[in-house]
Amino acid sequence: MKSSQWVWLPVAVISTSVHATTYFSVEQVQRALFPGATFSATSLPNAWRTSNGGYVIVDRVIGKHEYITLAVGINPNGTVKQIEIMQYQESYGYEVREASWRAQFVGKSASSPLQLNGDIINIGGATLSSRHVTEGVKRILQVYEQNLKGKR
Partner 1 sequence: MRRARPLLGTYVEIDAAGLAGPALERAIEAAFGAVARVHRLMSFHDPESDLSRLNRRAVAEPVAVDRWTAKVLAKARTLFDETCGLFDCAVGAELMRCGRLPSHGLGNIASGTFAAVEFMSDDRIRFSAPIAIDLGGIAKGFAVDRAIAALRAHGVREALVNAGGDLRVMGKTAQTIHIRCPGLDGRAIQAGLLRNAAIATSEAAATVVKQRARSASSQCAHHAYSVVASTCLLADALTKVLVQTEDPSAGYFSKFGAIAFVTSADALEDRVA
Residues that bind partner 1 (CB under 8 A): 1, 3-9, 11-15, 19, 21, 23, 32, 65, 68, 70, 83-85, 88, 90, 92, 94-95, 97, 99, 105, 108-109, 111-114, 120-131, 133-134, 137
Can you tell me whether residue 96 is helix, strand or coil? Answer: coil
Cβ proximity of 39 and 109 under 8 Å: no
Shortest gap between Cβ of 1 and partner 1 (angstroms)? 4
| C-beta of 44 vs 83, nearer to partner 1 | 83
DSSP, residue by residue, 59-78: EEEE-SSEEEEEEEEE-TTS
- Cα–Cα distance between 110 and 123 in angstroms, integer? 19
Shortest gap between Cβ of 103 and partner 1 (angstroms)? 14
**Torsions phi, psi for 107 (to 5 deg):** -60, -40
| C-beta of 77 vs 122, nearer to partner 1 | 122
Shortest gap between Cβ of 56 and partner 1 (angstroms)? 15
**Torsions phi, psi for 114 (to 5 deg):** -55, -40
Can you tell me whether residue 95 is helix, strand or coil? Answer: coil
| C-beta of 134 vs 142, nearer to partner 1 | 134
In the chain, how long is the greatest CA-to-CA distance?
A: 62
Shortest gap between Cβ of 43 and partner 1 (angstroms)? 27
| C-beta of 14 vs 44, nearer to partner 1 | 14
